[in-house]
Chains A and B, each alone.
Chain A
Amino acid sequence: MLEKIKKSKMIYIIPAFLLLGLVLVFPIIYSINISFKNYVMTLPFREVVYVGLDNYIDVLTDPRFYNSLKVTLIITFGSLTLQLIFGLSLAIALNNKLMEENKLLKSQTIRGVLFIPSMLMGVIIGLMWQLGLNPTYGIFNEWLSYLFGTQSYFSSSTLAIPTIVFIEFWRGTPMVMLILAAGLKGIPMTPYEAADVDGATSWQKFVYITLPLLKPVLVITIILRTMDVLRIFDFIFITTSGGPGNLTEVLSIYAYNTSFVSMRISQGAAISWVITLIILIFSFIYFKYLYKRE
């Protein structure tokens, strides 16, 4: 009888799992399978055969792969560092009694307004900055020209990557701020009150109370954002499509271009699995060295 009830509770996963089997599990198996073949979209189907690990070997010996890995890592850690510093400062600045009660500048409202960039379509973010930084009619290019002169930010070999790091910073910081703000709210007041009694400075309170107590949330934020930026695609594809040359070609764009521009779809599938492996390695390292040490 008990078994029967237990069974009847599990039957509600059936619709979800039928759908997931169709749209997720089957495509995953299919993708692993073709990554071991020589499928090129222009090739007649009868010439498609298994080629063993050839695609994976090709990828791992392709300088373009290492270039895209390097670019992805630069963008990920460059923007993540900025996001954490700025996002944490913002979360702390807004986590303040005066601000929570201020009618004109209520923390809650400001957080909502600041959150907008994190919700926008990658396409819109890309085009917005492309228009704003346009060398002729872009207002931000005009303002920045007082500092750097008029520049083509997306096609310059020195500025393309910093520009993309900045846009990712702009897009991701609000999200970091919001998660850290939720974490800050969970920190009790008592340690701060005790520190006040002992005459601690703000900086000491930050280093010895806020940071250690916020560590679990910080770690999760870092993990989450790293996973997100490692698979970055949309706004870079819209603005530079990986150019100039393949200077800004991140991993996902490399896989996309190989599959759908060069039509070497088997190799594209192999790249996509290498990307997955990289993401897995990162999450493993993070969990091992950051998460467990509490």
Chain B
Amino acid sequence: MKKKRFDKDVFRYIFIVIAIALFTGPILWILLSSFKSPNEILNSDPSFFPRNISFENYSALFEDHSFIRFFINSIIVTVISTFLGVLFGTLAAYSFARTNTTMSNLLFVTVMSFRMLPAIVLVIPLFLLMKNLGLLNTYLGLILAYTTFTLPFAIFLMTGFIQQIPRELEESALIDGCSRLQAILKVVFPLAAPGIATTTIFSFLVAWNDYLFAVTLTSTTKVRTLAVGIAGFNTARNVSIGPMFAALVLGVIPLLIVTLFAQKHLIKGLTLGALKG
């Protein structure tokens, strides 16, 4: 009996190790290769580990300042659209969590149905509208486009979180003479902080990872985001392959940091988003 148990666990561990190799191997190879020299990368007998450590790819990447520009653009657009989505979304979520009328339920279902729309449906009219309004190649255009998903998502997640906060707390604040908005800002928002953190991280990730909106609504280096910038390596003929590895690594690092430090929030956001949807 004991022997059998042991066999089963060995099988389990082997399976898990294979899974780890499969799901992290490609990322590791890119990371290790980014420290190879540009010539070693192009070697037709590729190795997993670098034979010599070199930082040439990174220095070449930063010599061309557009990469830093892309990075900053991504941060500006993502942070503002996430902030707008979470702020407006949390306020709206308060209304939805605290009312139960036919009208409010209908509006909530409408917002949720927006989440089902594929991005391609929105990107076509947004392109035309922003072209007419002169918002192509602007931060504002991209920020507005990103709120099409950060806002419904925030309303959805935050409604669930605020419903769990007892009404009595804000009601006692109202009795103490707070206006409702004050009660929301001073009582509900702090109590909903873990939920706000989850929503923020999730919205940030989705906006950060977007490619379709960014590639359609921008065409100049000035406002292009990281996703479009990195994709540009694939088509730019004057860029060598080496710096592309470095660019991929720098594109992955923010996500790795988020996974490491906000893993609980991510898992919570994902499972809530999945299980309650």
Chain B residue numbers with a CB within 8 Å of A265 are 124, 127-128
Chain A residue numbers with a CB within 8 Å of B120 are 231, 233, 252, 255-256, 272, 275
User: With A9-B98, A12-B184 in contact, do A24 and B30 touch (Cβ < 8 Å)?
Assistant: no
Binds A, one of B52-60, B61-69, B86-94, B190-198: B86-94
Chain A residue numbers with a CB within 8 Å of B152 are 20, 24
* Binary flags per residue of A30-57, CB closer than 8 Å to B gives 1, else 0: 1100100000000000000000000000
Q: Are A136 and B42 in contact (CB under 8 A)?
A: yes
Chain A residue numbers with a CB within 8 Å of B33 are 131
Main SS at interface, chain A: helix
Partner of B275, one of A30, A179, A234, A268: A179
Partner of A13, one of B107, B125, B127, B270: B107
Q: Are B274 and A31 in contact (CB under 8 A)?
A: no
Q: Interface size (A, Cβ < 8 Å)?
A: 92
Q: Are A116 and B22 in contact (CB under 8 A)?
A: no
- Max chain B C-beta neighbours (<10 A), residue from A9, A26, A27, A28: A27
The yes or no answer to A173 lying at the interface (CB within 8 A) is yes
User: With A11-B95, A24-B148, A110-B16 in contact, do A275 and B124 touch (Cβ < 8 Å)?
Assistant: no
Partner of B104, one of A10, A175, A233: A10
Chain B residue numbers with a CB within 8 Å of A99 are 12, 16
- C-alpha spacing A97/B101, complex, angstroms: 46
Partner of B255, one of A116, A137, A179, A238: A116
* Binary flags per residue of B84-126, CB closer than 8 Å to A gives 1, else 0: 1001110110111011010110010001001011111111111
- Max chain A C-beta neighbours (<10 A), residue from B98, B128, B129: B128
Q: Are A119 and B259 in contact (CB under 8 A)?
A: yes
Partner of A273, one of B121, B228, B234, B260: B121
- C-alpha spacing A279/B184, complex, angstroms: 37
For chain A residues 2-31, which have a beta carbon within 8 Å of chain B? 6, 8-13, 15-17, 19-20, 22-24, 26-28, 30-31
For chain A residues 86-118, which have a beta carbon within 8 Å of chain B? 86, 89-90, 93-94, 96, 98-99, 105, 108, 110-117
Q: Are A128 and B263 in contact (CB under 8 A)?
A: no
- Max chain A C-beta neighbours (<10 A), residue from B26, B48, B127, B147: B26
Q: Are B121 and A275 in contact (CB under 8 A)?
A: yes
- C-alpha spacing A273/B122, complex, angstroms: 10
Contacts A24-B114, A31-B124, A132-B29 aside, 11 further interface pairs with beta carbons under 8 A come to A6-B101, A12-B95, A15-B92, A115-B263, A120-B209, A120-B252, A121-B255, A174-B23, A175-B270, A260-B216, A275-B118
Binding site for B on A (CB under 8 A): 6, 8-13, 15-17, 19-20, 22-24, 26-28, 30-31, 34, 86, 89-90, 93-94, 96, 98-99, 105, 108, 110-117, 119-124, 127-132, 136-140, 142, 170, 173-175, 178-179, 182-183, 202, 217, 220-221, 224, 227, 230-231, 233-234, 237-238, 252, 255-256, 259-260, 265, 268-269, 272-273, 275-276, 279-280, 283
List 8 A-B residue pairs with CB atoms under 8 Å apart, sorted by A's residue number: A9-B94, A16-B88, A110-B16, A124-B248, A128-B248, A136-B44, A179-B270, A283-B116
- Complex A-B, nearest 6 residue pairs according to Cβ-Cβ distance, in ascending order: A16-B92, A231-B118, A27-B125, A31-B125, A12-B91, A16-B88
